[in-house]
Amino acid sequence: MRSPCTKLKINRRRLLLGMSALATAASFAQSRGLAESSGPPSLTDPVSHFMFVSRVLVPHELDRSVGHRIHGAFSDVEEDFDNKIKELQDLIIKTSPVDVEHFMPTLTDIKQKNTAMKIISAWYSGVVNGKSKDHTIGFESSLMYKVTNDVMTIPSYAKSAPNGWNSTAVSLLNMPSF
């Protein structure tokens, strides 16, 4: 398992690389790690902006294809969603938070905070709530299942080989890395 310190360093590195990428086109070439893992945050690609913001809000490995679906669902149900993302992105660039715990308290605008919480909720629950219906984005990719996946089955997915489980109870402190 990666240590929290290592994860924090990666987050900061990604954040800095992302900010750099947004600042100048030249920096795209220097940020190949981010580009390879999540696509270059181009000024014209709204999903890249969404992923950039998501990586600050959700401190885990995020699948861009899932992000693409979440972004698409929000674009359907939220008015002016890309501008809301732009506002959050600008704030991130301005405040350079080291993690979500430092970033959320800087959101004094309730609308911005609501947008941030909706994005977090979508990654964890796999659903984007619309006015008339819910948009299910994913099932096994929902992060709420990964928090307990060291012990609990993701419902409908196999736990193990036949009768391969046991009654060992693990500590709450052994948080999986994902």
Partner 1 sequence: MPSNLSSDVIIVGTGVVGCLIAEQALDAGFSVLMLEAGPRVSRDTIVENYRNLPPRLRNHWNAPYPPKPWAPHLETRTESEGASYLDLIGPNAKAYEQGYVRYAGGATWHWAGICWRMTPDDLRLKSLYGVGRDWAFSYDVLEPYYARAEHAMGVCGPRDPALQWPPNTTRSRPYPMGPIPFGPGEQRLTDVAATIGMQNLPAPQARNSGVSFDGRPPCCGNNNCFPVCPIAAKYDAATALPRIEAKGGKIITNAVAYRVETNSQKKIEAIHYFDPNKTSHSVSGKIFVLACNGIETPKLLLLSANEKNPHGVANSSDQVGRNMMDQPKLVADVEMTEPLWTGVGPVQSSSIMNTSQGDFRRDYAGAMFRMENMARSTLGGLAALEKGLYGKALDQEIRRLSACTARLTVEHEPLPLSFNRLTLSDKKDWLGLSRPRIYYDVGDYVRRSATQYTVPLLKKLAIALGATDIKISPEFLHSDHIMGGTIMGNDPVDSVVDADCRAHDHDNLFLPGGGAMTTGGSGNSTITMAALAIKAADAIVGQLNHG
Interface size with partner 1, residues (CB under 8 A): 46
Would you count residue 171 as binding partner 1 (CB under 8 A)?
Answer: yes
Would you count residue 12 as binding partner 1 (CB under 8 A)?
Answer: no
Q: By C-beta, is 31 or 142 nearer to partner 1?
A: 142
b/e burial code for range 64-78 (CB count within 10 A of at least 16 → b) = bebbbbbbbbbbebb
Q: How far apart are alpha carbons 64 and 54 in whole angstroms?
A: 10
Q: How far apart are alpha carbons 117 and 41 in whole angstroms?
A: 22
Task: Please report which residue ranges of the chain form alpha helices under DSSP H.
Answer: 4-23, 26-30, 32-38, 46-57, 64-77, 81-95, 100-103, 110-125, 143-146
Note the maximum CA span of the chain: 56
Would you count residue 3 as binding partner 1 (CB under 8 A)?
Answer: no
Binding track over 98-117 against partner 1, x by CB under 8 A = -xxx--x-----------xx
Would you count residue 10 as binding partner 1 (CB under 8 A)?
Answer: no
Tokens 């360093």 map to which residue? 9
Would you count residue 177 as binding partner 1 (CB under 8 A)?
Answer: no
Instruction: Give me the count of residues in the chain.
Output: 178
Would you count residue 54 as binding partner 1 (CB under 8 A)?
Answer: no
Would you count residue 175 as binding partner 1 (CB under 8 A)?
Answer: yes
Would you count residue 77 as binding partner 1 (CB under 8 A)?
Answer: no
The residues binding partner 1 (CB under 8 A) are 57, 59, 99-101, 104, 116-117, 120-121, 124-127, 129, 134, 136, 139, 142, 144-145, 147-148, 151-172, 175
